[in-house]
A and B are shown apart, each in its own frame.
Chain A
């Protein structure tokens, strides 16, 4: 394996790593040890304490510094003669365009989010540079090779969408703890500490309470001289007491549901709290805002401990007080951040009180933080293994050893004795809008939807475009860029607020839009289909995009199983490996089995490749490629 020839190939190769996190640290080390001598690395993040358990190139003293730069310095210490260039930047920045990507022989992804992965996929296609993609969640991992025209691109299969919950489940009828977390974080926290002008569904409306909305709005306003504790109790009583009471009055809702219990502060807290409002904690100020906590003053130490209703209520009031006492300036523009201790404490307490109300089991701060912050479960070993697999594929890519490219799964439980399961890569999906330019279909109400809705909900959110441009025939409806003059910007802004059918070049049933991203060098056509009505719960966006979801069932394989119904729970978060059920014949399996060499005379059962339906569903149907 370690031939002279290979060593010089690695020496000459120029590779780009995107991401210097969990996988990135391991990858940079293994690349350097393997003989790669020209490595570029992009990462916009800075180092945090919770990275240190696995991102072994970082030390406590590096917290706050650029991951890319510290990783570079650390690896140069044991391989000083090689060239590593670090970029502390977002890979989506315009300077990283297709021309930038073209200088590399292979791109290696160690990213933690879907958005950036899609962006890099498009740039690799535009620059025609092979991509080795990876992901891990806990003990699960995956490495895939994407080479334009040879194997599927990263977006040939639809990825499981991030979970969303129906609005009324969050506002009125939670049944799981996660619903309470979403309520506490996206509604209550946002209402109290975030942008006051944002739409907020915090108040449940009973049948006849249209008039009450005005008075409830005022509850959240704190008068200048209002005592903070009184204010906190007022909020408490309003959201956990009054609002529940109001909701209960709507009998229809509770016919088949367990009725929630209103909770008022006087039932659970003493008349006046003896706790001081954090003024004794001057020492903590030096630690910075993200370290401020109510837990020490309440004698709470263990974040994995379950707090009772009273403790949660105390945390709620004290955290709210502390926000006003210590972080007044930030109120009005705070957004929830999992690394903001006080925010986590407040959201945990609020979610737990709400859970108590609805008879849902309570959770510890540690667990609540994981749910609220969509924290990805991560261990060092999986990252190390995946990094090793990435380098093995990168070497094959450099040698253009196409027949040997593999997509490899790391499994937690062995499947047919395998803990590391290589399978042959899939062919490109001919209906993929990214690598095959297949038109998409958008059902939308062209009279009620504005161009802004289309841009936000489809072009940005669904198509993942960064700098989009939208054309209808020869007419330019919208574009983003630094080089636009004021008149154009004004025009585009005016267009954003217009309904599709009222645009200068009206977009109606049967119109074909061209949507492009010049940085990603991606262009696709969208066929517009006018539709009047959309189901609010099932189609909350008021529009439906389709067209690239079906993967072809080729070679006569029956398409009895649907595509992604078995998306693994563990990969809920977009950061994990997207392991999606696939049902496709592997690309023409070569009959020659490279194991069958001269010595191997006897018939072998060696199945080098395994066709899998879903690698994580262990005993499911698997066929050998014979």
Chain B
């Protein structure tokens, strides 16, 4: 298997991380293809991390033109107007990322994600949807699930100083070291649709409030036909109304979702860069785990809130009801 060995150059560059996850994992990484859409602060951090880690290729999608808002928290965009005028966010980020690691193939794909079919997603091992609407998350997730090969699917969303990661690895087998032995493990993931359809009532009360709050915001943006993040304190009443409805429908008390948390989520337009670094770091770590098949992956939501400083995993699946 000569052709599959890491080159001397790769071994030298990736020396310190090979000491963490081993040469086999590094080989798998260098052969993996990642699709990333929606490049705001957290996703910029994520892209930097996986490009440094040495994945095979990264395909970027974000047709927004660069403006002041896109600059915020995204260090991949130099603030030089001459450099970015007329270019899309994906194009500018592509240039910066190539520079980070010449061994990774970084490219741009244009178009509307919702119009791509399964054959498009088949080219990838990992699909990451950043800042997507509920419709996009559902539809891309379904496309990936149709394929015979397993495409690891992630969504990531940051509002104010809070972040959410969703993971769908479908049926996932991996190995982990337990004491001296290597044990085989298997996990079954619900789809995005299945996960967010889990009734709230049986979900343990200690579950992160952010899980519920994010669902409220999603429903609000969808029902109002807003893009991701298009909301403000003016929408407070409508958001609280949706919260009330959802809580009633799920037979849980409204205290389930603190109002001030919802307020933070709808007013925090600018991302909080430390939270981006943290959530983008966790997401990259998860993608590296899934690609290399090493270590316990996250199942199936992750939350970070800078206010309490906790980074917590939540498993939201049918298991509560059965």
Q: Which A positions have Cβ atoms within 8 angstroms of B?
A: 1-2, 26, 29-30, 32-34, 49-50, 52-54, 56, 59-60, 77-80, 138-139, 301-304, 366, 370, 375-382, 384-385, 387-389, 391-392, 395, 406, 408, 410, 412-414, 417-422, 595, 597, 599-602, 604-606, 608
**Do A302 and B5 touch across chains, with their CB atoms under 8 A apart?**
yes
**Do B16 and A378 touch across chains, with their CB atoms under 8 A apart?**
yes
**Do B285 and A417 touch across chains, with their CB atoms under 8 A apart?**
no
Judge whether B13 is part of the interface by a CB distance below 8 angstroms: yes
A602 to B73, CA, bound (A): 37
Instruction: Tell me how far the C-beta of A50 lies from the nearest C-beta in chain B, rounded to whole angstroms.
Output: 4
**Do B285 and A381 touch across chains, with their CB atoms under 8 A apart?**
yes
**Do B314 and A417 touch across chains, with their CB atoms under 8 A apart?**
yes
Instruction: Tell me how far the C-beta of B241 lies from the nearest C-beta in chain A, rounded to whole angstroms.
Output: 16
* Chain B residues with a Cβ closer than 8 Å to the other chain, count: 71
Judge whether B78 is part of the interface by a CB distance below 8 angstroms: yes
Stretch at the interface among B131-139, B219-227, B253-261: B253-261
Q: Which residue of B lies closest to A394 (CB)?
A: B274
When distances are taken between beta carbons in the complex, the residues of chain A under 8 Å from B206 are: 605-606
7 smallest CB-CB distances across A and B, nearest first, come from: A420-B311, A388-B277, A422-B309, A33-B273, A385-B281, A388-B274, A388-B278
**Do B17 and A379 touch across chains, with their CB atoms under 8 A apart?**
yes
Q: Which residue of B lies closest to A369 (CB)?
A: B15
**Do B260 and A597 touch across chains, with their CB atoms under 8 A apart?**
yes
When distances are taken between beta carbons in the complex, the residues of chain B under 8 Å from A60 are: 102
| Known A53-B53, A53-B54; contact A377-B274, beta-carbon cutoff 8 A | no
- 4 more contacts with CB within 8 A, not counting A417-B313, A421-B310, A605-B205, are A33-B73, A370-B19, A377-B16, A419-B313
A422 to B278, CA, bound (A): 14
A302 to B6, CA, bound (A): 8
**Do A50 and B309 touch across chains, with their CB atoms under 8 A apart?**
no
Instruction: Tell me how far the C-beta of B13 lies from the nearest C-beta in chain A, rounded to whole angstroms.
Output: 5
Stretch at the interface among B58-66, B147-155, B299-307: B299-307
A605 to B49, CA, bound (A): 35
Judge whether B157 is part of the interface by a CB distance below 8 angstroms: no
Judge whether B295 is part of the interface by a CB distance below 8 angstroms: yes
Set B52, B79, B277, B313: member contacting A54, Cβ < 8 A: B52
A78 to B161, CA, bound (A): 22
Q: Mark B241-272, 1 if CB is under 8 A from A, else 0.
A: 00000000000011100111000100010101
Instruction: Tell me how far the C-beta of A244 lies from the nearest C-beta in chain B, rounded to whole angstroms.
Output: 31
| Known A378-B20, A379-B17, A422-B309; contact A599-B258, beta-carbon cutoff 8 A | yes
**Do A379 and B311 touch across chains, with their CB atoms under 8 A apart?**
no
**Do B100 and A50 touch across chains, with their CB atoms under 8 A apart?**
no
**Do A388 and B260 touch across chains, with their CB atoms under 8 A apart?**
no
Q: Mark B223-243, 1 if CB is under 8 A from A, else 0.
A: 000000000000000000000
**Do A602 and B255 touch across chains, with their CB atoms under 8 A apart?**
yes
Q: Mark B281-292, 1 if CB is under 8 A from A, else 0.
A: 110110010000
Instruction: Tell me how far the C-beta of A22 lies from the nearest C-beta in chain B, rounded to whole angstroms.
Output: 8
**Do B16 and A379 touch across chains, with their CB atoms under 8 A apart?**
yes
Q: Which residue of A lies closest to B52 (CB)?
A: A380
